[in-house]
Amino acid sequence: MRTSKAAALLLFLLPAPLLAQDKSLPLVPEKPTWDSFHGQLNAQKYSPLDQITAENVGDLEKVWEVHTGDVSDGSGDLPPTVWSATPVFANDTLYIGTPFYRILALDPATGEEKWSFDTQSALEALTQPALKNRGVAYWETDDPKEDEACQKIIYMGTMDARLFAVDADTGEPCADFADSGVLDVNQWNTTNDKWPLSLLQPPAVVGDRLILGWAGKDWAYEQAPPGTVFALNARTGEREWSFEALPEELREKSGTANVWTHMSADEALRLVYLPVSSPSPNFWGGNRTEEAPLATSTTALDIETGEVVWARQWVHHDLWDYDTPAAPTLMDITVDGKEIPALIQAMKQGFLFVVNRETGEDVWPIEERLVPGGDGSVEGEVYAETQPFPTRPAPLLDQAEKPEVWWLADAVSFGECSKLWDQLWYEGMYTPPTTKGEGVLAYPDSAGGVQWGGVAFDPESQTAIVNTSHIVQYVKLYDREAYEKADSGSGNKTGFSPQEGAPYGIRLKTALNWLGMPCWKPPYGELVALDMQTGEVKWRRPVGASQKYGFFMPESWGSPTIGGPAVTAGGVIFIGSTMDAKLRAYSLETGEELWEDQAEAPAVANPAVYEYEGRQYVAFVAGGNTIMKDQVGDQVAVYALPE
């Protein structure tokens, strides 16, 4: 049996919300800000600062750097660290969280420490294979009271599901927030509580409310905590509303469909936009054959009530871990002479879905197309007949055809890659998992064509910028008896994962030859600029260089990327993200590389752009990510033009 096209497609078309009358921010703030994870709530990663331009960016120099000391390569008693924290500039201070769950408040001009706060959290890999942190969130009251603490607050979560709130001026815990400055979010983890609701991503601060998602490990179990999103009072931590993406009948036997990445919001429309992930387990769905139309979706909620205003599902009955990875970027664009309040949702599939952010309706047609069904080898599975495909912009990578074997990798491995390709089934991107042969080729891989760094947007030229990865994996399902024999214990994304409770475990591997060379043709990563008035590509180019055994590959081959870009009114794109641990600047107009510097590890966090006392700065965090390579760091590097 396969689910019907009509039942699989959901579009809520409730009345558009009324415009807020006060306290709302315009989509693009009048003054330069970088006070949240993606710079602003619109997730544009855009700065109107123009001191650094395409003409002078080559003169950038490092004006200060800080090494936090909070780093582990996994060789000692601690798990390795993964540090993806975008610095937040607010209150004339640069704030950052570390993978040892400390908050640092730094002087933005010198890096001198103003204060630090240690959550004393256990440094254990409870839900992730590494100690992981994506930073902090900032809130301030509109009605400050003199000499009272916590009129401005910094928030940071921990892997063991505690949310800390400290005074932004002093680093002292906020006594009125939850239990003396600490909220135990795990108190609400009551269904299939197989792991804590890890708070790795900072909450989205929308007005006086915190919108909080969490991360888990949906590759490990069939049943998992349902992906509840919580709305909290920013002052007290009191829960005001919650949202469930899974229908009630699925919450006991499946789980997740959570929001593990950042969210965006339009305060004038009173909407918060949730990138919702896939249900558990990732690669078998026989336990969740009922419709779950809010899973793997973008869902717009009323900020005040948490009620669904509209939703679009981007993968029906997800069997590929293609969960929605990034905050949608909000933008006002002009298409065929018409002004459109738009939203662009980047996906792991390499798709960019563009809809009206008020209603969820298509800007360019999004078509339901037939996709492959199963091969009969997987018991209990139900396959979606169709999946949504955007007609514009074009996919960032070609998933329609089986990627071509790279002759060089094949030659040096005496045909190992060709032999592997012959044993992998592939009828396009949505070819479902199988128990046969070496399994099914997965392209893009489960880490994604686009990851949580998301899309940047220049509102002046209406240009969107996004970095991609081109990675081939292959996945095979094993029945329980075969899995127990085959499991190497490697776990997570690199090998065997149990999907415990389900009739199948999985093996997920990257398609490399015995030398570690990719079996598919480069490039392995690109930077792409899109004209959002037409949906056409303005330019695209390989980004960075891949590195193996200490050698850099040609830059024309590009690099896998994690983390995203920032763009400025000076016509410059800043990005780290690549295996070679370089920080780069590109021309917004042409894509020409204009500047680079070497960091101590891959800068897998989005850069931050800010101005302090008349000088413009660009801040990078170089922390590394073990998905990319075994190179970690604890460096904050900040650049400016010479005085």
Q: What is the pLDDT, as a whole number, of residue 363?
A: 98
Q: For 496-511, what is each residue's pLDDT tens digit?
A: 889 999 999 999 999 9
Q: For 241-295, what is each residue's pLDDT tens digit?
A: 999 999 999 999 999 999 999 999 999 999 999 999 999 999 999 999 999 999 9
Dihedral over alpha carbons 218, 194, 495, 125 (to 10 degrees): 110
H-run or E-run covering 104: strand 102-106
Does 50 participate in catalysis according to the annotation? no
Q: What is the pLDDT, as a whole number, of residue 494?
A: 53
Number of residues in the chain: 643
Query: Beta-carbon neighbour count of residue 239 at 10 Å?
Result: 16
Q: What is the pLDDT, as a whole number, of residue 309?
A: 98
Residue-averaged pLDDT of the chain: 93
Q: In 3-state terms, what secondary structure has residue 438? A: coil
Dihedral over alpha carbons 243, 247, 248, 250 (to 10 degrees): -120
**What confidence category does residue 553 fall into, taking pLDDT thresholds of 50, 70 and 90?**
confident
CB 525 within 8 A of CB 561: yes
Q: What is the pLDDT, as a whole number, of residue 8?
A: 38
pLDDT at 15 > cutoff 70: no
Q: Is 309 exposed, middle or buried (0-12, 13-18, 19+ CB in 10 A)?
A: buried
Q: What is the pLDDT, as a whole number, of residue 298?
A: 98
Residues linked to residue 313 through DSSP beta bridges, in sequence order: 297
Cis amide leading into 444 (omega within 30): yes
pLDDT at 3 > cutoff 60: no
Q: What is the pLDDT, as a whole number, of residue 11?
A: 43
CB 555 within 8 A of CB 542: yes
Across 524-534, average pLDDT: 97
Catalytic residue, from 321, 362, 445, 580: name it: 321
pLDDT at 568 > cutoff 80: yes
Q: For 66-75, what is each residue's pLDDT tens digit?
A: 999 999 999 9
Q: What is the pLDDT, as a whole number, of residue 25?
A: 64
Question: How is residue 210 written in tokens?
Answer: 């915190």
Q: Is 282 exposed, middle or buried (0-12, 13-18, 19+ CB in 10 A)?
A: buried
CA distance 578 to 567: 17
List the one residue out of 603, 605, 585, 580 whose CA is nearest residue 595.
585
- 338-346 and 366-370 strand pairing: unpaired
CA distance 323 to 296: 5
Integer CA distances (angstroms), 524 to 445, 519, 546, 547, 573, in order = 12, 11, 8, 11, 20
> CB neighbours of 46 closer than 8 A, spacing ≥ 6?
28, 39, 40, 456, 457, 458, 459, 566, 567, 568, 569
**What confidence category does residue 520 fall into, taking pLDDT thresholds of 50, 70 and 90?**
very high
List the one residue out of 207, 135, 40 whose CA is nearest residue 567.
40
> CB neighbours of 166 closer than 8 A, spacing ≥ 6?
103, 117, 153, 154, 172, 173, 174, 181
Q: What is the pLDDT, as a whole number, of residue 489?
A: 59
Across 450-471, average pLDDT: 96
- 22 φ, ψ (degrees, to nearest 5): -155, 165
> Assign residue 32 a region: left if phi > 0, alpha if psi is -120 to 50, beta otherwise?
beta
Q: What is the pLDDT, as a whole number, of residue 192?
A: 96
Question: How is residue 75 written in tokens?
Answer: 């060789």
pLDDT at 177 > cutoff 50: yes
DSSP 8-class letter at 377:
-
CA distance 367 to 345: 16
Q: What is the pLDDT, as a whole number, of residue 446?
A: 87
Integer CA distances (angstroms), 348 to 81, 320, 534, 643, in order = 23, 10, 22, 42
Please state whether the predicted TM-score (pTM) of the whole model is above 0.75: yes
Q: What is the pLDDT, as a whole number, of residue 448?
A: 85
